[in-house]
Amino acid sequence: MKTTKLTTAQAVIRFLDQQYVERDGVTHKFIAGCFGIFGHGNVGGIGQALFEYPAMQYYQSRNEQAMVHTAAAYARMKNRLSTLACTSSIGPGATNMLTGAAAATINRVPVLLLPGDIFASRHVDPALQQLEYPLAPDVTVNDCFRPVSRFWDRINRPEQLIASLPQALRVLTSPADTGTVTLCLPQDVQAEAFDYPEELFHRRVWFIPRPLPDSQLLDRAVALIRTAKRPLIVAGGGVIYSEASAALHAFVHATGIPVTETFAGKGSLPYDDPHQLGAMGATGTEGANAIGAEADLVIGIGTRYSDFTTASKTAFQHPDVAFININVAEFDAHKHAALPLTGDARAVLEALAERLAGHRVDAAYRDRVAAYNRSWDEKVAWAYAVEDASRLSQAEIIGLVNTFSDPADVVLCAAGSLPGDLHKLWRTRNPKGFHLEYGYSCMGYEIAGGLGAKMACPEREIYVMVGDGSYLMMSSEIATSVQEGYKLTIILINNDGFASIGGLSRSLGMEGFGTQYRERNAETGHLDGGLLPVDLAANAASLGAHVIRVQDEGSFNDALRQAKGHTKTTVIYIDAAPERKLAGYGHAWWEVPIGAVAEATGVREAHARMAVAKKSQRHHL
């Protein structure tokens, strides 16, 4: 057996550079590069390996959490067929990646983390930034990654890579098991040399299958669909990742079964398709929630049924509602006591369509769905119509961006009140045109995620919509986008605080407590003084962005045109007017516990409303 002497770190980088995936006869390089922030714990190991092996593209980041978000967004835009690795120093560098790791795993997207670790020899003990745990000296801060990783290992000897690296790639490339993979690399082991078998560094192609469930289960699903009077599809992110939009279109146009969408599944069908009911659940449309409440059969495709999708288990009210779940992950396929069709979304839809040839829901049901589609578009048009050109609301800002953007452009967001409005209002015209991180709803994802999305599809315009709350959490990757030449258009909406949670707080009778950005009042001792004198536009300019300040409809439209012509990241800054919100529809409820005992009248009233809403909750058994 031929061998090659390499350090552990060099072996990791050379192995990763030779990993590919294949689906539908098309091959993609899987690890497209490595983000890293160097410190003790990785500078002389992984850092040295990247320095000597430029074939693996290195990207510099400003924040370890941000680089994980960037990698996750990149993987999502690539439909999980490619991702980026992220390396950090030990201690705070490593734990800074925890939030990003959790977000990637929750959203079922692959990211590889390579955090530095303490000395495996323990000769230098404690090392700088080492956690000392007296009962177990092998515990380090990197053990925190265990519950948020789909695969976790600590490489205490160089030869462990021979077994561990293929296991890591198996998980990363698995549609069912993917998420964050963490390989902890003790800093002394990174620099140790070993004679590795040359076969470890040969080109390896991981085949991504399109599995089908057992034929008996398919037949049972067909029987359920044929007998259902009001079937409904809930399209989740699995439709997008499987590239099943065309198959879904063919299926619903053949059967007439209407479609609703989760945050991750938005764009599964174009907004104006007559079978499209739009957003489902707590942020749902009138038609989606009305049909959902009456549905006798719910066909979930690639969804994990989060509480927003199910309106905290109040969305599906038919007394005999049944579920069919099409999901590549068995765990999700069995939710809600469903008939589980564990398999690839596109392949399963095609198999069902063949078996259902000639079946179609009745005309009255189809007509009602089409009417809901048209009436909702009228409501969106109302929300988009500018009421006062001198001061734009958030919904009007969304409308201006949506109207100006091209069908292939991407809107990206993650947290605050924007996701709910975008879920309901954005007219999606392309399966990859809507990018919401709402599995974790992670504040700070937006700009870092926008960078990852742009890296994945540089030919598309990326419109990052972010409020001042999320911007202040993490704006650092503006500098990275400028450095790398990946142009973003960032719509920075200032509403002087946490608007989403402020609204939730007021609905719970708490008057927006702790959610506005105000100075401490010397007289009252509370945060009810003047608004903070913070200039976010100046901050963005200091990070290298081109900044355009706008205040009305005309200047906003001009800014969009200017931004499209710029070649570097542009921030359009605007102060938003109070909202013109669309009402909630049907079972558009989200359960947030409210104190059972309170002095405030508003809190007591909110608790009473919650008690009424909880009576509609269902156990789907």
How high is the pLDDT of residue 598? 85
The CATH architecture that domain 215-375 belongs to is 3-Layer(aba) Sandwich (3.40)
Q: What are phi and psi of 214, to 5 degrees?
A: -60, 140
* CA-wise closest residue to 118 among 202, 18, 185: 185
Instruction: Quote the CA–CA distance of 498 and 509 in Å, as a whole number.
Output: 16
CATH superfamily of 3-207: Thiamin diphosphate (ThDP)-binding fold, Pyr/PP domains (3.40.50.970)
Q: Are 525 and 548 in contact (CB under 8 A)?
A: no
**Chain region(s) in the chain for CATH 3.40.50.1220:** 215-375
Beta strands 3-7 and 193-197, pairing class? antiparallel
Enter the tokens of residue 50: 């990247």
The arrangement of strands across the sheet holding 26-29 comes to 26-29, 19-23, 204-207
**Chain region(s) in the chain for CATH 3.40.50.970:** 3-207, 387-496+536-575
Q: Consecutive sets of 10 residues in the chain, 621 residues long: mean pLDDT of each?
A: 95 98 98 97 97 97 98 98 98 97 98 97 92 93 98 98 98 98 98 98 98 98 98 98 98 98 98 98 96 98 97 96 98 98 98 98 98 97 94 95 98 94 97 96 97 98 96 97 98 86 77 86 92 94 98 96 97 86 76 87 87 90 90
How high is the pLDDT of residue 581? 66
Check: pTM over 0.95? Answer yes or no. yes
Q: What is the DSSP string of 550-562?
A: --SHHHHHHHHHH
State the number of CA atoms in the 13 A half-sphere of 276 facing the CB.
24
Cβ neighbours around 222 below 10 Å, total: 17
Supply the DSSP symbol for 499.
H
CATH superfamily of 387-496+536-575: Thiamin diphosphate (ThDP)-binding fold, Pyr/PP domains (3.40.50.970)
